[in-house]
Chains A and B, each alone.
Chain A
Amino acid sequence: MQHLGGETLTLCYQCGTCASSCPVARLTKRFNPRIILKDAILGNKEKVLNEDAIWLCSSCFNCQERCPQEIEIADIIYALRNMAIKEKRAPQAFIDMASNLAESGRVVPLANFTIRRRERSGLPTIMAPDTDALNKIMSATDFTSILEQAKKADSQ
């Protein structure tokens, strides 16, 4: 876990403030941030990366805000998702959003009917993002190859 976001993980003493602050954990047993941290500390990599728990975080940052040890819990969950994707275990919804970004520079592309609706309301034309520049950034961080691998795994 020597990964961006993972540096504070080992400070966890399992108090459970995260779980009691979590809007998802109060509704389902499938997600509990305290247990994700415990498994990550114990090195239960297969369990953490295979189960769908890490994908159920709603990114509300309540846990991170309230953690008495100032552990970056939400960021750790992103880091775990990064690892899962590298092992080609990514939910389709995430692959789709990442693909949109790579293709158009936007997670939510502009549909033609929206462009017309914007014109009718007198809103200015939106200049397309510089996808060349964006793709250079994505190649430099390996985002492009990670996404391609994840797509391949998904189509198999």
Chain B
Amino acid sequence: MKCYALYLGCTIPARQPNHELSTRKALTHLGINLVELDKATCCAPPPIESVELKTSLAIGAYNICLAEEQNRDIITICGGCFQSLAGVNARLKYDSHLKKEVNHILAKAGKEYRGTQQVKHYLQVLTEDIGLPTISQKVVKSLKGIRVASFYGCHVLRPSTLLQFDDPERPQILDNLVEATGAQSIDYINKKKCCGGLLRGYEDDLALEIARDKIVNVYNAQGDCITTVCPFCFVALDIGQLQLNRKFNESYNIPVLHYPELLCLAFGIDPKDIAIDNRRIKANSLLHRITYMSEH
């Protein structure tokens, strides 16, 4: 089975190790081998692009060099890291002038970007390397009857010319993967719209207002849970509900699960083994339902 260099980024290992745990478990359960990408740095995402664009490109390329040295393709587990690294990879592969410039910078650090490896998000690995039928076959606790609000976030989809991930206006990858667990991937208004996550810490009120739109739309569509593929979307929608409840005296209670968490539950992995309690909006009633359904 395919082997990937695992690029963790900063946010997931530092703030959401439970997300890392479920992703590692789900991928290895499906036979994907993950090798650590030692000494990897931050992917230099939008806040760093905002300071100096070329630095961001060079740092992205530096991390791809680490995988090139292992002759392995990269698997990213964060939407932001995917956009940064897959974006740099695409730019440098088709722009030889830019590649030369970046390599001039990388030479100071003793590296050279060659452009020999791919950068993938785990959703692509699940769909392309494993395939939906195999995933469905591994499901031992079907999530049938669970209404899941799939949320792609922004940075796996756009800019689509560089990322080539899925149709940016009508994406299907995550919906199909959710349905492979037996669950129903529901439609809701503004499904592809931003969660406001990157404005948190700079414009908190505005960020929460954007997240509120998302949460209200999922609530109105009677979603049992939201599933995300990016740590920033997770925070915006999980802690976001707690903040909305406090600030506006509302009572949202929709658990947010990273897609690999959903997958682990469907594979029958003990929720305790993926630290399922590490969230503000607890998933207890959802877990009871899944257990009840599998026993009856």
Taking Cβ atoms with an 8 Å cutoff, the residues of A that contact B are 3-5, 23-24, 27-28, 55-56, 58-62, 64-65, 70, 72, 74-75, 78-79, 81-82, 85, 90-91, 93-94, 97-98, 101, 105-111, 114, 117-118, 121-124, 126-130, 133-134, 136-143, 146-147, 150
> Is B14 in the interface zone, CB < 8 Å from A?
yes
User: Which among B109, B169, B210 is the interface contact of A136 at CB below 8 angstroms?
Assistant: B109
B window 10-38: CB within 8 A of A:
10-11, 13-15, 17-18, 20-21, 24, 36, 38
B173 within 8 A of A: no
Beyond A97-B48, A123-B13, list 14 extra A-B contacts (CB 8 Å): A4-B53, A4-B57, A23-B213, A24-B196, A60-B193, A61-B159, A64-B159, A70-B161, A108-B11, A111-B14, A114-B13, A128-B39, A134-B41, A136-B109
**Complex interface: chain A residues within 8 A of B42 (CB):** 101, 105-108, 129
Question: Are the C-beta atoms of A127 and B110 separated by less than 8 Å?
Answer: no
B52 engages A137 (CB within 8 Å): no
Asked if B14 and A114 sit within 8 Å, CB to CB, the answer is: yes
Q: How far is the CA of A96 from the CA of B15 in the complex (A)?
A: 17
A133 and B111 in contact, given A23-B193, A61-B154, A61-B159 (Cβ under 8 angstroms): yes
User: Which residue of the partner chain, among B13, B49, B210, contacts A58 with CB atoms under 8 Å?
Assistant: B210
Known: A98-B47, A126-B13. A56 touches B199 (CB 8 A): yes
Contact B39 A127 (CB under 8 A): yes
Number of CB contacts from chain A to chain B under 8 A: 182
Q: A58-B194, A64-B159, A106-B10 are in contact. Are A146 and B17 (CB under 8 A)?
A: no
Are A56 and B203 within 8 A (Cβ)?
A: yes
**How distant is the Cα of A38 from the Cα of B56 in the complex, in angstroms?**
26
Please tell me if B85 contacts chain A, counting CB pairs below 8 Å.
no
Q: How far apart are B244's CB and chain A's nearest CB, in angstroms?
A: 15
CB-CB nearest in chain A for B63: A129
- Nearest CB in chain B: distance from A91 CB, A: 6
- Residue contact A58 to B196, C-beta cutoff 8 Å: yes
Question: Is B237 part of the binding interface, using a Cβ–Cβ cutoff of 8 Å?
Answer: no
- Interface size for B (C-beta < 8 A) is 64
Partner of B194, one of A23, A109, A110: A23
Identify which of residues 103-162 in chain B touch chain A, using a CB-to-CB cut-off of 8 Å: 104-106, 108-111, 154-155, 157-161
Q: Most chain-A Cβ atoms within 10 A of its Cβ — which of B24, B104, B158, B210?
A: B158
Using CB atoms, name the residue of chain B closest to A5: B53
Name the contact of A110 in the complex, choosing from B14, B45, B51, B154 (C-beta under 8 A): B14
**Which A residues are in CB contact (< 8 Å) with B44?**
101
Q: Report the Cα distance A55→B155, complex, angstroms.
A: 18
Rounded to whole angstroms, the CA-CA distance of A106 and B145 in the bound complex is 41
**Known contacts A97-B48, A118-B13, A137-B58; is A78 also within 8 Å of B53 by CB?**
yes
Residue of B nearest to A135 (CB): B109
